[in-house]
Structure 1
Amino acid sequence: MKASRRWWLLALLALILAGPWLAPHPVDQPITLPYATPNAQAWLGGDQLGRDVFSRLLAGGADLLLTSGLVALLVTAAAAVLGVIAALRPTVGRLIERTTDLVILLPTVLGILLITLNWPGGGRVALIVAATILGIPYAIRVTAAAAAPVAATGFVETAVASGERLWYLVLFEILPNLRGTMLTLFGLRFVAAVYVVTTAGFLEIGPQPPAAHWALMIRENSAGIQLNPWAVIAPSLAVGLLATGITLATGSRRARAAAIAQTGRQ
């Protein structure tokens, strides 16, 4: 990644995480008229209750970033292990493949509802579990396809013939050669997690009003988009900017990680 892009992404992530402390107004108190247009007091106008859209925009991204990042990390880690095992043990791989096929058939929204509504207490933990379960099947297919040719190489076959344990093959023989794939997969699953968490926000699953959350801002203010478009446009742009930044970051790292892995095999 070019230095300018790297610093741009780091600045964006730092701004999102520090946003709740940078908000100029309380995020839960009205300061202007409902759906007021931008003015000197509220730079992006007011939302449906007259709260400052700019303050809620600054405070509304940290939860989405942390939740989506955790989901992407859990999905990538689980898929890395299960995908490599599927490539090394064909019998186990077929069982994993059949199980993932069943989960893939489940629509995302229906899966979110089934898990979160039946989870004791619901909330953020239920959303993270639902997003992780729904994301693993797709990620496993990517990992297994990438691990299959590596598992058939001579250095892995030598390790198998020497009696190395399965966990050693997974962690030290194959996964180090899939760093580029894993970075790209993390970026893809992060974007998918943003989609799932945002969709859950529209369904009022996870953060609840009056919390400042980009997904909630879009849903709550959609009825007044003609009065103050910024109440919907600003959080929508923020979600897209976050997803794009992570995708570009992980994608640009793939070539470098693949080159390192290739050097390690030589």
Structure 2
Amino acid sequence: MTSQGSMSRHRIMPLSALLAVLTIALIVAAALLAPWIATNPPQAMIGDAFAAPGGTLLGTDVLGRDLFSRIVHGARLTLLIAVSATVIGFAVGTLWAFVAAELDGWFNEATEWLVNILLSFPPLMLGLLLVSALSNSLPMLIGAIAAIQVPRVVRVARAVAQNVIGLQFVEVARARGERLPYILLREVLPNCLRPLAAEFGLRLTYSTLFISGLSFLGLGVQPPDADWGGLVRENMSAMQIGAWMPVLAPAMAIGAFAVSLNVLIDWIDSRSSTRIG
């Protein structure tokens, strides 16, 4: 009874994880539906600078544009860059890690050596160098963040894959003469999904904060477009006159998305650690 009760409790999503899922779903829905739920065009100047909420839901920004409309359209850019960079970086890093773990030998050793070198560079400094030296166009931002993610994904995915590759069912697949793609996709990947899903969530959180940080420094999304970090940056002068909403609202959006992702990841990790069999 005790074991069954413990298992049933772990199957039920706690309130914190449920709130995290709802918050993430709300932000994603706002990003997808931005053209329809925005109360005004994001570039339209509809009033005085830093007007208080009333005529609009959250008031206006530094140029008198609708802050709510800017935030929901900024969510589209933030999530587009973060999700795209995370998917690309995760796909490249996982494939590299799995191949290195399966082939072993000099390729695995070279991978470990190269990953350690890449991880020695501060990621923010590396991102600033890449964007400054090349460009801050949307594809470049996505590529730069994805490249920074790759070595971190390789380190985790390689460790997970090495634990699976030594198991008996993988040895049986090799003995049957299965090729490398089959072994990696059909034998290794399904048994690594849960820890990799948690790592993907962490990488997505990191990408969101990273692009917001770049935009806050003026090297991310460029005006007149803006992601959440850019909205915080362009409205900083509001604090000098006591208007907190233009800065607080996009900052809270960044925080809510990042915290919700971390809470959801913690729940996934707890389920993984209590799984029986």
TM-score range relative to shorter protein: 0.7 to 0.9
Question: Cα–Cα, structure 1 residues 203 and 7, in superposed 2: closer, same or farther, change >3 Å?
Answer: closer
With over 3 angstroms needed to count, the CA separation of the structure-2 counterparts of 1:152 and 1:81, relative to structure 1, is same
**Take 1:73 and 1:145, find their aligned partners in 2: how far apart are those partners?**
19
Match in the other structure for 1:141: 155
Structure 2: distance between partners of 1:155 and 1:215: 47
Q: Offset of 1:140 from its aligned partner?
A: 0.9
Q: How far is 1:184 from its partner? A: 0.5
Whole-Å separation in 1 of the counterparts to 2:71 and 2:56:
12
Aligned-pair distance for 1:114?
Answer: 2.7
Most deviating of 73-82 and 106-115: 106-115
Read off the aligned partner of 1:138 and give its amino acid letter: R
1:35–1:46 Cα contact (<8 Å) kept:
yes
C-alpha displacement of 1:255: 6.2
Corresponding residue number in structure 2 for 1:191: 205
Aligned to 1:154: 168
What fraction of aligned residue pairs are identical, expressed as a percent?
A: 29
2:49 aligned residue: 34
Equivalent position SS for 2:178? coil
Structure 1 spans left out of the alignment, 5+ residues: none
Is residue 242 from structure 1 mapped to residue 263 from structure 2 by the alignment?
A: no
Cα distance in 2 between the residues matched to 1:182 and 1:125: 25
Asked whether the equivalents of residues 116 and 122 of structure 1 are also in contact (C-alpha less than 8 Å), the reply is yes
* Deviation string, structure 1 residues 79-133 (Cα, Å, up to 9, x no partner): 22122222222221111111112221222232223322343x5401111111011
What amino acid does structure 1 have at the position aligned with 2:29?
A: A
Output the TM-score relative to the length of structure 1. 0.87
Q: Match of 2:222?
A: 208
Q: 1:4: Cα distance to partner? A: 4.9
- RMSD, aligned α-carbons: 2.4
Deviates more, 1:24-33 or 1:123-132: 24-33
Shift of 1:251: 4.5
Q: Using the TM superposition, give the Cα deviation of residue 259 of structure 1 relative to its aligned residue in structure 2, in angstroms.
A: 8.8
Q: What is the match of residue 88 of structure 1? A: 102
Q: Pick from 217, 226, 231: which aligns with 1:217?
A: 231
Give the TM-score of the pair, scaled to structure 2. Answer: 0.84
* Match for residue 64 of structure 2 among 50, 71, 91: 50
Distance of aligned partners of 1:202 and 1:29 in 2 relative to their CA distance in 1, 3 Å threshold: same
* Cα separation, partners in 2 of 1:60 and 1:158, compared to 1, 3 Å: same
Alignment of 1:42-81 (within 5 A): 42-81=56-95
Q: Could you give the per-residue CA deviations for residues 152-210 of structure 1, whole angstroms, max 9, x where no partner exists?
A: 11111222233322222211111110010111011001001001211221233342112
Partner Cα separation in structure 2 for residue 122 and residue 7 of structure 1: 32
Quote the Cα distance in structure 2 between the aligned partners of 1:4 and 1:108.
32
Distance in 2 of aligned mates of 1:248 and 1:73:
20
- How far is the alpha carbon of 1:26 from its aligned partner? 2.5
Partner of 2:28: 13
- Return the letter of the residue paired with 1:30: M
Q: How many Å separate the matches in 2 of 1:255 and 1:183?
A: 13
Out of 104, 112, 119, the position equivalent to 2:127 is 112
Which residue matches 1:233? 248
Distance 1:222 1:113, change over 3 A: same
1:58 Cα offset (Å)? 2.0
Following the alignment from structure 2 to structure 1, what is the Cα–Cα distance between the partners of residues 175 and 76?
A: 49
What is the rounded CA distance, in whole Å, between the counterparts of 1:255 and 1:143 in structure 2?
19
The alpha-carbon deviation at position 257 of structure 1 amounts to 7.3
The unaligned stretches of length 5 or more in structure 2 are 1-11
Contact 1:131 1:193 in 2 (8 A): yes
Distance in structure 2 (CA, Å) of the matches to 1:74 and 1:257 = 25
State the SS of the aligned residue for 1:87: helix
Q: Which amino acid aligns with 1:106?
A: F
Structure 1 residues 166 and 255, CA gap change in structure 2 (3 angstroms) = farther
What secondary structure, in the 3-state scheme, does the structure 1 residue paired with 2:235 have? helix
